[in-house]
Structure 1
Amino acid sequence: MKNTISLAVLRGSAIALTAALALTACGGGAGDNAGAANEEVSAEDVQAALEEGGDITIWSWEPTLDEVVESFEAEHPNVNVNLVNAGTGNDHYVALQNAVAAGSGVPDVVQLEYFSLPQFALAESVRDLSAYGAGDLQDTYNPGPWNSVQANGGIYGLPMDSGPMALYYNKEIFDKYGVEVPATWDEYVEAARALHEADPSVYIANDTGDAGLATSLIWQAGGQPYKVDGTDVTVNFTDEGSTKFAETWQQLLDEDLLAPITSWGDEWYQGLGNGTIATLATGAWMPATFSSGVAATAGKWRVAPLPQWQEGEPTSAENGGSALSITSASEKGALAYAFLEYANVGDGVQIRVDNGAFPATAATLESEDFLSDEFEYFGGQKANEVFAESAKSVPEGWSYLPFQAYANGIYNDTAGQAYVSDTTLKDGLEGWQEASIKYGSEQGFTVSK
């Protein structure tokens, strides 16, 4: 459920966080604890805070944290954790920004999706965890999620989970029509043609314009359309990676090889269930959604590596995932960091994995128990082997905009026109670029292309 909501946010309408983004641009919002937030905090300070105890408040919609909190409190009886679901998606972020602006009611710890983290980091609403020694944890995490918690030379959260991508495919449909599972995106286009020719009701995938999917595939292709240095931002969708994605996806659009069905609705679940949607390229969190939302197809689906842009050069990308961050307004920074370490580095990691979360920690991804787990839904396949390899193959250097929520919200009004008109995806991406530049400039950023 958590990831379903998260991706819905990425696809949703333009998110009304104008006040938050304006605040981001002018670098305000740190609160009275701005100085305290920059002070060095040693491991001894964190241990002392645990021994002293106290109350901390966490805002998160993630259900696996319930058991983590119970375990943490049992291990540290002097600590009381108030776990609050302040809303999901837009509601969560608006509530956080309102609390920051009001200077009251701000939690100590907050869950932030990777795409939203930069805007709160630049606004100084969350702390740079470098002061807590978080930089020493770099090798603890895989490159994708670790890169996602960094902004402006700082570390603004500890990765909570990750979404290394894979290709989920309906084996029964591929076998029925004798189509090979594609290993490259060129082969993917060929497979799309073969499936749709064999049965016009079958599409290789659905897509009505998904900003999250587009940026993930551009990331996989080596594109870096976003570059951020403080309030200096570059938006450029004419680079090689963006062009690869646009040209390949254009073929699917021109030949009507994508089902015109929006993800996460009833029609989408029906398509996954009845075989008319044959594949899904998305994050490693998807198995739980398959099991709960498309239970009747258990045994029919399998997991394969994400198709490659260049044969023989395994590369993946992330799609989804979030971090836990400490707010600048918190007066319990050391105690809050103790919880972050427990939940995202310590015993809490296995608790969350056991409850269905996909880890960001390298050691977990490499453990025999994790890799050997057989997924009944996928016909007994050891799917984590595919996900773990994907996690290791995510290129570094990707950045999100400090107003990514807004940018994703206008995708369908710009690039998405390629799905419903004669506009090409290449031109649509350039339109998305110009609209993003215009908005960023209006919010006080220096934006170029």
Structure 2
Amino acid sequence: MRTHSSRRLLSALAVLATLSLTATACGSDDSDAGTGGAPKDVAAALEKGGKVTVWAWEPTLKKVAADFEKKYPKVDIELVNAGTGDKQYTALQNAIAAGSGAPDVAQIEYYALGQFAIGKTVEDLSPYGALAHSKSFTPGPWQAVNQHEGVFALPMDSGPMAFFYNKKVFDKHGVKVPTTWDEYVEAARTLHKADPKIFITNDTGDAGATTSLIWQAGGRPYHSRGTDIDIDFDDEGTKKYTATWQKLLDEKLVAPISSWSDAWYKGLADGSLATLSIGAWMPANLTSGVATASGDWRVAPLPQWTEGDRTSAENGGSSLAIPKAAENKELAYAFTEFATTGTGASTRVAEGAFPATRADLESKAFLDKPFPYFGGQQANRVFAESARNVGEDWTYLPFQVYANSIFNDTVGKAYVSPTKLDDGLKAWQDASVKYGDDQGFTVNK
């Protein structure tokens, strides 16, 4: 997850938030809004054909695009990598502001979708038939795209969380796999005492990881009713998270190593980083980036905040949305539906993506797949259970991209100074409130 951004990016995102609110206040074109009436004539658009430009960085879409063109030879799919994450969102907002150059389809991560949905700069897909898929997707991804009284994208993948641990290290030091976060803290102490070079995990402050664990703990710091927003990091779930994580920081039980750095990969390979609590998309990264540790690692459900619970959360995942400025919206929807459901979804899973679709998640072939990297473990069974147990009613801010960009300037201080996590979260809350107020939102705290 990204937590650092340039001043230029922050300025661009500020413009986007303003544009979104302006569109709402002025009454953007709502002729396509609502859920009534027959679906738009997607079949006729496919018969006529045309070109669909797709902005996405996800590599599995290459095979999907080729399959779509084979099935519908009159349609040309042009895949464009306009940059990953924040870079693409900046390019997309620039195209929206300019009134030209926007793609027909855009990949948008779940945490970022709200800023486009609230101003309706992306299409409500309900009139195209999207509501027919309400039961097709797992709860977390569907909830992420079904917001502000519309369906503003279709889920492409998901990131239900799991607990990845180095079995070789755990066995060597006689540590049991923790089933609660209290046991996790004890495991951290035991491992670090046995070998001071071993840390239970790494953490230098990450907005996505923090909000995901707060989500799992039952915290719901964000509530959004259009432009009326609540931000409150003083709820019981958040306190559960900070009380536990503060112990790890105070006792120096987490390594001060940034994720995705060379030192991180090295620690995962040599066993000095013993666990990861992360999304189900992680196996491919371990297989390619930590190949020498193949056979050492296993997967288990996330530790629980309350003994006996089975609650999980999402960490990552993307959707496909159709900008209001798209030229071929019906064709764009046809491709979006193909890529995220049915054959297209299964193709992406076969190419290495983690499914958001119930059918793929529940298929015997998926569940029974052995992972040589995890010693032959059927790890998808753990991931599938996690997807079913994702806590409900989680929402992000409609300016979460900006909020995440200032995480290290606020909460991040708890990792490099005497600042406590609770105080860091309060600073993050205050900075987010100020930003929201400045952009025309009504923000309560």
- Shorter chain as denominator, the TM-score bin is over 0.9
Match of 1:188 in 2: 184
Q: CA deviation at 1:24?
A: 2.1
Q: What is the one-letter code of the residue matched to 1:316?
A: S
Q: 1:39 to 1:277 in 2, by over 3 A?
A: closer
Q: CA deviation at 1:36?
A: 4.8
CA distance in 1, matches of 2:167, 2:264: 18
Is 1:205 the counterpart of 2:201? The answer is yes
Q: What is the one-letter code of the residue matched to 2:105?
A: V
Q: What is the one-letter code of the residue matched to 1:416?
A: G
Which residues in structure 2 correspond to 1:100-111 (within 5 Å)? 100-111=96-107
Is 1:22 the counterpart of 2:22? The answer is no
Q: What percentage of residue pairs aligned between the two structures are identical?
A: 58
Q: 1:39 to 1:254 in 2, by over 3 A?
A: closer
The answer to whether the Cα contact below 8 Å between 1:13 and 1:410 also exists between their aligned partners in 2 is no
What secondary structure is seen at the aligned counterpart in 1 of 2:162?
Answer: strand
Is 1:305 the counterpart of 2:298? The answer is no
Match among 72, 83, 89 for residue 87 of structure 1:
83
Match among 351, 356, 360 for residue 356 of structure 2:
360
What secondary structure is seen at the aligned counterpart in 1 of 2:31?
Answer: helix
Match of 2:344 in 1: 348
Is 1:438 the counterpart of 2:431? The answer is no
Is 1:167 the counterpart of 2:163? The answer is yes
Gap regions ≥5 residues in structure 1: 1-6
Match of 1:144 in 2: 140
Match of 1:221 in 2: 217
What secondary structure is seen at the aligned counterpart in 2 of 1:394?
Answer: coil
Is 1:387 the counterpart of 2:379? The answer is no
Runs ≥4 in structure 1, deviation > 6 angstroms?
Answer: 29-33, 37-41
Which residues in structure 2 correspond to 1:16-415 (within 5 Å)? 16=10, 17-27=13-23, 35-36=31-32, 42-43=38-39, 45-415=41-411
The aligned length equals 442
What secondary structure is seen at the aligned counterpart in 2 of 1:373?
Answer: coil
What secondary structure is seen at the aligned counterpart in 2 of 1:282?
Answer: strand
CA distance in 2, matches of 1:30, 1:293: 49
Q: CA deviation at 1:341?
A: 1.1
State the Cα deviation string for residues 29-72 of structure 1 (Å, max 9, x = none): 99996535669674571111111111111100010000000000
Gap regions ≥5 residues in structure 2: none
What secondary structure is seen at the aligned counterpart in 1 of 2:134?
Answer: helix
* Root mean square deviation, CA, Å: 1.7
TM-score, normalization by structure 1: 0.95
State the Cα deviation string for residues 96-131 of structure 1 (Å, max 9, x = none): 011001111111111000010000111211011112
Q: CA deviation at 1:151?
A: 2.0
Match of 1:417 in 2: 413
What secondary structure is seen at the aligned counterpart in 2 of 1:415?
Answer: helix
State the Cα deviation string for residues 124-176 of structure 1 (Å, max 9, x = none): 11011112221221110110001111221211000000000001000000000
CA distance in 2, matches of 1:85, 1:202: 39
Further displaced range: 11-20 or 108-117: 11-20
